[in-house]
Structure 1
C-alpha cells in the first residue's frame, strides 16, 4: 500500500485518488488463490465504494466509471449515479475475445480445458491449446472459475471497453469483436501504453547499463521473468547451464528460487523481499565461468532501459503483457517462456500470430532443459530464424510508433473516447 500511495502522490495534481480501507480475509484459508482474493476485495468493498462515489459525485462532474477486468460488480454503483461504466483491459485483444466466448465455451465442454483434444479457436485469433487458458479458468469447479464466469457475463453491459493493444497488431481479433450483430460494447484500442523511466530508476541502474555499453550491438540476451515470476531450484540450474553452454552474452535478472509456485514473488510478500546472493543458489562456479559474457543482476533492473539499449538483441520473457509491449516498442524479438495468468495465450499469439517469438517447450517433468535453452538463445541472437523474428519485430515496432502519432489509430480511438466523455451531461 505504501508503494501505491507513493506512486499516486507523484501523479499530476489533476488526478485525485481515494484509498478504500483494506478488507478482511480472516475467513479464507491460507492457500486461497489470489484470484479469489481479488474478487472478494471488490465485492467486500462495494459499500465503501458507494459512499466514496457519492461524495465524489456531489463535488465533481463525473462523466464515466472505468473498472478493470474484475470490476463488473461495481457497474451497478455507476448506474445508480447515472454514469456509464467502462472497462479497461490491460491485456491482449485475444484475452478479451476469450472473455466474451467463455460463457459459450462453458456450455460446449464439460471437461477441463487443458483436456480438450483440439485447439480452441476464437474469432479472429490464432488457435491455442486448452492448457493455454489462463490459470484461474483451469479448474472449473473452483470459486475463482465460477465467479470469473459470472464476471464475463456482465461485460456486454459496459458502455465501452478500452484495450491496451493496437489495431495493427491484432487487427483480425479487433474486427471480429466489432462485427455488427454481436451486441458487444464499443471497443477503444489505445495501446501500446508502456512505462517510462523514472529518475530513481536511472540513478539506481548505472552498473548494468555500463556493462551493456561495453557489449557489441544486438549481442545480449536479456533474461527476466517479470516482477512476480519465479523459477524452481531445478529450473534455475537448467537455465544457468543453458545460458553458459549457449556461448551467448546475457543479462539475467534473477530472483530467489521458489519451488511451490511460478508467481510466488508477485503474490507473496515473503518471496518478494530482499534478494539472496545469487551465488548461494546458482551452480558452483557459474558466475566466475561466465563473467566475460554474462551479468547477473539480483531481483530487479530497469527493464525499459535494458530493452531500449542498443546492445540488447533478444528478450527471454514470461510474456506478461507489459513486457510484451515494452519489447515491441523497442523492436526486441522474444523467447516466450510463459509462467502464469494469461501469459500462455500471449505466447501463442506472439509465436503463431504475429510471429515475433520462439516458444520454449517443457519436458514431461515440466522443466525446460539446458540443451533446449542453449538452442533458443543461440537461434534468437545468431540464427536465421532469429533474424526473421527480428525483421518482423522491427515492422511491428514501426507500426506501434505510427499508431501513437497524431493521426494514428490508437490516438484517434482515445480522442474519440475523450470526446464522448467531454459531451456527457453532469451526473
Structure 2
C-alpha cells in the first residue's frame, strides 16, 4: 500500500523594498559636497534617491557640480525647491550663506506637498544640519523618520547640540559669565571647549547665524539619528561620550559613516595635477582655504612671503571673494607679477575650482595648509596628509583642535580669526617647515589613513552603520 505525502511549500517572503531617500542640502559647497557623496553611496546600495535642489542656487559652483553629478548618476532624481526670498531685518547681516539658510527654513512649508506625491513613496528625509530645522517639520507632516547629516566634526556637533542650554534668555548669545571659567565652556562628558574657539557670532546677541544654529540644535533632538562624516579612531572620545549618554540622554545616536568616499566627478582645473606629476614625492605644500574664505589682501601678501621663504614647492588655490560669482580678480592682481616671476620654477597659484581629493591623493603632496573646514580635514585624513591648521571662521577652530589632538597637524592659536591679525610671512614659513620635517606627524597621519581605510571597507565600522540605516528603512 502506498501513500502520497502532500508537501505544502512555504510562501517565500518578497525581497525588502528599496528605500526611497530624499536629501536636502543647505547653502554652500561645504554642505552640498557631503550630501552628494552620501547620495552616491545610497544609490550604490540600491536606494532610490531624490536630491532636493534649492532654487535659485547661491553659487555657480554649486549649480555646476549638481549638473555634472546628475549626468553621471542618472538614477538619482531631482526636485526643484523654489525658496521665498528673505531680507534680514538687520542690514548689517551681509553673509549670503546665513541669509540662504534662513530663507530655506522659512520656505520649507512648500516642500511637504511636493514630497507627498513622489513615487515610490518616501522612506525618509535626510537633511544637512543647516536645513534640519525646517526638514524636521516636513518629516513630521509626512510621518517619516528624519536623519540629519552633520557637515562638521562630531566634536562641534556635540557643542551645537548643547548650545540652547548656554544661551542667555532674550538675547540668543552665549552667556560666558555663567560658565564658571570665562576661558572655557564645560559640556558634560567632553573635554572643555576653549572660549576662543567658539564662533564669534555665538557671542553677539540676536545674530542670524546663532538663531539658525539654535533652531538646528533643537531639531537634532527630534532626529532618528545624526550621520557624521567621521570614524571611530578619529573621534572616539566624542562618539563614545555622546552614544554612551554622557552628553544628553535624549540626543539621538551619532552615526559615523566616514570618510565619505569621493565620487570622482569634480568640475575642476586639471593643470595643477599635471604640474604635480613633475614634482618629487612629499615635496609640495598644498594651500587651500575652501570656498567660503577670502583672505585680506595684506594676508595674501604675507602668505606669499611665507611660502616663498619656506623654500618648499607649493600649490596655492587662491580666493578673493566669498561667493564665486563675484570672484573675478586675476591671480597677478592679488599676489603681484613679481611674486609669480620669482616663484615660477617652484610654485603654482590658481584661482577657480580644483579637484582637492585628487590633489591630496597625489604622492607629491607633503603638507596641507587648511582652514579646517570639515570636508577638507576628512579628505586629508583619508589620504594621510599632515596639516598646518589655520582656521578662519565658524566651526574651524574646534575642528583644528581635533586635528591637533590626534597628532596629525600643527595649529598656532595666536593666529586668530579671519581678519583679526595679519600673520607675518616669517611665522608662516616656520610652521610650514615644522610640518614638512616632522616625522611623527607624518607617521600619525599614515596610521590614521589606514584606520580610515578599514572603516569604509566592506564589513568596516562605517560600512556597517550605513547598511544598518538602510536595513531599518526597509521595514
Q: TM-score range by the shorter chain?
A: 0.7 to 0.9
The answer as to whether partners of 1:163 and 1:191 remain within 8 angstroms in 2 is yes
Deviation digits for residues 306-351 of structure 1 (CA, Å, limit 9, x no counterpart): 1111111000011111111111111100000111121111011111
Match of 1:321 in 2: 374
The answer as to whether partners of 2:287 and 2:370 remain within 8 angstroms in 1 is yes
Deviation of 1:137 after TM superposition, in Å, equals 2.1
Deviation of 1:153 after TM superposition, in Å, equals 2.1
SS in 1 for 2:185: coil
Answer yes or no: is 1:310 the counterpart of 2:363.
yes
SS in 2 for 1:223: strand
Deviation of 1:111 after TM superposition, in Å, equals 3.8
Deviation of 1:187 after TM superposition, in Å, equals 2.6
Deviation digits for residues 150-208 of structure 1 (CA, Å, limit 9, x no counterpart): 3312321111111111111111100111114712213321011143332754xx41x33
Correspondences of 1:152-171 after superposition (within 5 Å): 152-171=217-236
The answer as to whether partners of 2:225 and 2:253 remain within 8 angstroms in 1 is yes
Answer yes or no: is 1:187 the counterpart of 2:247.
no
Answer yes or no: is 1:292 the counterpart of 2:345.
yes
Match of 1:354 in 2: 406
Match of 2:278 in 1: 214
The separation in 2 between residues aligned to 1:172 and 1:244, in whole angstroms, is 39
Q: 245, 250, 261: which is aligned to 2:314?
A: 250
Answer yes or no: is 1:379 the counterpart of 2:434.
yes
Deviation digits for residues 78-104 of structure 1 (CA, Å, limit 9, x no counterpart): 122221111111211001111221122
Q: 216, 239, 242: which is aligned to 1:174?
A: 239
Deviation of 1:125 after TM superposition, in Å, equals 4.4
| Counterparts in 2 of 1:4 and 1:300: CA distance versus 1, 3 Å | closer
The separation in 1 between residues aligned to 2:179 and 2:100, in whole angstroms, is 24
Match of 2:123 in 1: 63
Match of 1:229 in 2: 293
Q: Alignment RMSD, CA only?
A: 2.6
Deviation of 1:11 after TM superposition, in Å, equals 4.9
The answer as to whether partners of 1:116 and 1:130 remain within 8 angstroms in 2 is no
The answer as to whether partners of 1:140 and 1:146 remain within 8 angstroms in 2 is no
User: What is the TM-score with the length of structure 2 in the denominator?
Assistant: 0.78
Q: 384, 387, 401: which is aligned to 1:331?
A: 384
Deviation of 1:126 after TM superposition, in Å, equals 4.2
Match of 1:77 in 2: 138
Match of 2:106 in 1: 44
The answer as to whether partners of 1:215 and 1:311 remain within 8 angstroms in 2 is yes
The separation in 1 between residues aligned to 2:112 and 2:370, in whole angstroms, is 40
Match of 1:277 in 2: 330
Of stretches 135-144 and 153-162 in structure 1, the one that deviates more from structure 2 is 135-144
Structure number having the greater strand percentage: 2
| Counterparts in 2 of 1:74 and 1:304: CA distance versus 1, 3 Å | closer
User: What is the TM-score with the length of structure 1 in the denominator?
Assistant: 0.86
Match of 1:261 in 2: none
Match of 2:78 in 1: 17
SS in 2 for 1:214: coil
| Counterparts in 2 of 1:279 and 1:294: CA distance versus 1, 3 Å | same
- Identify unmatched segments of 5+ residues in structure 2: 1-56, 58-62
The answer as to whether partners of 1:100 and 1:155 remain within 8 angstroms in 2 is yes
SS in 2 for 1:316: strand
Deviation digits for residues 100-155 of structure 1 (CA, Å, limit 9, x no counterpart): 21122226962489996322344554433212123442323324323422331232
The separation in 1 between residues aligned to 2:133 and 2:88, in whole angstroms, is 24
Of stretches 221-230 and 358-367 in structure 1, the one that deviates more from structure 2 is 358-367
Match of 1:391 in 2: 443
| Counterparts in 2 of 1:192 and 1:113: CA distance versus 1, 3 Å | farther
SS in 2 for 1:45: helix
* RCO comparison, higher one (Cα < 8 Å, 6+): 1
The separation in 2 between residues aligned to 1:43 and 1:67, in whole angstroms, is 11
The separation in 2 between residues aligned to 1:317 and 1:113, in whole angstroms, is 33
Q: 235, 240, 263: which is aligned to 1:196?
A: 263
The answer as to whether partners of 1:319 and 1:336 remain within 8 angstroms in 2 is yes
The answer as to whether partners of 1:128 and 1:348 remain within 8 angstroms in 2 is no
Deviation of 1:284 after TM superposition, in Å, equals 5.4
Match of 2:425 in 1: 370
Deviation of 1:252 after TM superposition, in Å, equals 1.1
